[in-house]
């Protein structure tokens, strides 16, 4: 439900205490005032710790530096007087026993009065004793329509006009930023050269990286990897290439839904993370990396708030790729954790979003241990497809050697016997092949010469592949994939040899 509709519904239903976690104080206050006008032109009172109540000359400064007095102000007004009381940064006082008790008393009183207390805070921090009386409402980042209106307002102030295509690119590049950040970065561009130019999109991108870093939940991941950098995995690459244009307007007109995402399950070092990076680069989409562990916070409601914030930022930046590495470790045994059900609620919010999302956020999740994943994660509808990424076969190992050596020695690739290297490294993963090449380079460098095929084989002979040290786990994964639980990423699967 859109924010305006939800907020006005809460006003009509006389929800006494509403909590809005947002950093866009100015924008949310303007929106609340618009809602108040539509609700019979209700009075809006704004309080902060430094200046007290503002706007009404008769009560200007009342409650200054006194949060308890700010709450007592409501009782001074007639019970029939309708009003919305905005309390800025009031989360800092919720742990005070007198403030907490007063809020709970007011929660009872205001059920019969047309008054609502709205706490606006940049962070969600709700003490346990207030969790039942406070209603949290998310305030979304500006939509495309709102961003376009703001950009056009700034352009009108400078007398500049932009042609349609560049204006659309500018609006799209601003998605995921707050209104204040959009104003700031465009003002910086105008201050630099008196107008907004195509090169300023890089300024916006850097601002976007900055705001994502400040969430401390998502990372904006630069990508340079290409689909061609992936050795083997032909079935997976064919699947991805067929969906290369699925985020375009032409695909929408055709009737295609947005691709939902992939779950890549397999052995460590087989190219799952590389695939996530290559997808974003090939589709020309921003790559966001989620560390699920960062979702969990110590305060009541904080973890759920961070999860909603992650979803909000990802959807605001859409179309994008959301990469969740080793998701099996994040939600392993979540139902047995002694955290009052926080992990279960975070997991429930996350998988519900996976199933119901309509925004063009393509989720790429990787997992090494399928046994650790909750069954709900594997249900159809969460992802478009589940691929099993196994050990590379001989042909794929040859391709992996070719990828690495053509990058390191592009002019001397013919000096390396790729067939022999692929044949002599059974059970090696892509990461282990790369490590063997790096070790061979150390051998050659230490002897003041270039490294050779024999150096690579010598280095490989010193490596004990994971396929031999974790045979049982790999056998389970192979059997799971062979039972039809996932599509094979390779045209031919390579099974580790029995020792």
User: What is the per-residue pLDDT across 360-407, written as a single tens digit (0 to 9) for each?
Assistant: 899 999 988 888 888 888 887 789 999 999 889 899 999 999 999 999
Looking at the structure, give the CATH architecture of the domain made up of residues 144-215: Orthogonal Bundle (1.10)
Mean pLDDT of all residues belonging to the chain:
87
**pLDDT-above-90 percentage for the chain:** 39
Looking at the structure, give the CATH architecture of the domain made up of residues 394-426+430-464: Orthogonal Bundle (1.10)
User: What is the per-residue pLDDT across 268-293, written as a single tens digit (0 to 9) for each?
Assistant: 888 888 899 899 888 888 889 988 87
CA distances to 246, 247, 257, 361 from 254, rounded to whole Å, are 10, 11, 9, 19
Which token pair is 229? 């950098």
Does the pLDDT value for residue 317 go beyond 60?
yes
Band (90; pLDDT cuts 50, 70, 90): very high
Q: Can you say whether the dihedral through the CA atoms of 364, 248, 317, 35 is positive or negative?
A: negative
Strand order, beta sheet including 385-389: 218-221, 287-290, 320-324, 361-367, 261-266, 385-389, 487-488
Looking at the structure, give the CATH architecture of the domain made up of residues 3-136: 3-Layer(aba) Sandwich (3.40)
**Cβ atoms of 296 and 334 closer than 8 Å:** no
Least confident of 44-53, 289-298, 336-345: 336-345
pLDDT, mean of residues 436-443: 95
Cα 471 from Cα 497, distance rounded (Å): 9
Instruction: Give, as one character, the DSSP assignment of residue 257.
Output: P
Which token pair is 9? 């519904």
pLDDT, mean of residues 351-361: 88
pLDDT, mean of residues 232-247: 87
3-state class of 120 per DSSP? strand
**Cβ atoms of 486 and 480 closer than 8 Å:** yes
What are the boundaries of each domain within the chain?
3-136, 144-215, 221-389, 394-426+430-464
- Residue 30: CB atoms within 10 Å: 12
Is 394-426+430-464 the same fold as 144-215?
yes
**Cβ atoms of 466 and 435 closer than 8 Å:** no
The CATH code of domain 221-389 reads: 3.40.50.300
pTM for this structure? 0.70
């Amino acid at each position: 439900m859109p924010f305006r509709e939800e907020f006005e519904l809460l006003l009509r239903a006389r929800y006494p205490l509403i909590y809005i976690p947002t950093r866009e104080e100015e924008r949310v206050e303007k929106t609340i005032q618009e809602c108040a006008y539509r609700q019979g032109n209700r009075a809006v009172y704004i309080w902060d710790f430094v200046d007290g109540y503002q706007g009404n000359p008769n009560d200007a400064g009342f409650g200054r530096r006194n949060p308890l007095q700010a709450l007592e102000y409501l009782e001074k007004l007639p019970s029939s007087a309708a009003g919305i009381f905005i309390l800025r940064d009031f989360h800092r006082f919720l742990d005070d026993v007198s403030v907490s008790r007063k809020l709970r008393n007011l929660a009872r009183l205001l059920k019969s009065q047309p008054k609502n207390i709205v706490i606006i805070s940049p962070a969600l921090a709700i003490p346990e004793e207030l969790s039942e009386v406070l209603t949290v409402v998310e305030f979304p980042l500006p939509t495309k329509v709102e961003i376009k209106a703001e950009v056009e307002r700034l352009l009108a102030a400078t007398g500049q006009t932009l042609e349609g295509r560049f204006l659309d690119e500018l609006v799209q590049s601003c998605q995921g930023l707050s209104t204040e950040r959009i104003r700031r970065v465009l003002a910086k561009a105008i201050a630099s050269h008196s107008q907004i130019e195509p090169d300023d999109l890089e300024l916006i991108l850097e601002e976007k990286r900055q705001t994502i870093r400040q969430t401390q939940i998502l990372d904006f991941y630069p990508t340079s990897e290409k689909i061609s950098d992936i050795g083997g995995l032909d079935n997976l690459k064919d699947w991805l290439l067929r969906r290369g244009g699925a985020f375009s307007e032409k695909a929408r007109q055709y009737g295609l839904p947005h691709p939902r995402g992939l779950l890549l399950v397999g052995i460590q070092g087989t190219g799952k993370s590389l695939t996530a990076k290559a997808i974003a680069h090939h589709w020309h989409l921003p790559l966001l990396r989620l560390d699920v562990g960062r979702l969990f916070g110590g305060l009541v409601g904080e973890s759920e708030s961070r999860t909603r914030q992650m979803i909000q930022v990802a959807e605001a930046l859409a179309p994008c790729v959301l990469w969740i590495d080793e998701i099996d470790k994040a939600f392993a045994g979540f139902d047995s954790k002694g955290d009052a059900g926080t992990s279960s609620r975070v997991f429930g919010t996350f998988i519900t979003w996976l199933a119901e999302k309509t925004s063009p956020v393509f989720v790429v999740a990787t997992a090494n241990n399928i046994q650790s994943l909750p069954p709900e994660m594997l249900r159809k509808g969460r992802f478009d497809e589940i691929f099993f990424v196994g050990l590379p076969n001989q042909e794929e190992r040859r391709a992996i050697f070719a990828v690495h050596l053509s990058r390191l020695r592009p002019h001397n690739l013919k000096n390396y016997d790729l067939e022999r290297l692929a044949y002599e490294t059974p059970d090696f993963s892509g990461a282990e092949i790369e490590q063997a090449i790096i070790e061979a380079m150390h051998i050659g460098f230490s002897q003041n010469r270039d490294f050779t095929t024999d150096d690579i084989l010598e280095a490989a002979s010193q490596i004990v592949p994971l396929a031999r040290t974790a045979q049982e786990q790999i056998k389970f994964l192979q059997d799971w994939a062979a039972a039809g639980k996932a599509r094979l990423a390779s045209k031919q699967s390579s099974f580790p040899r029995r020792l």
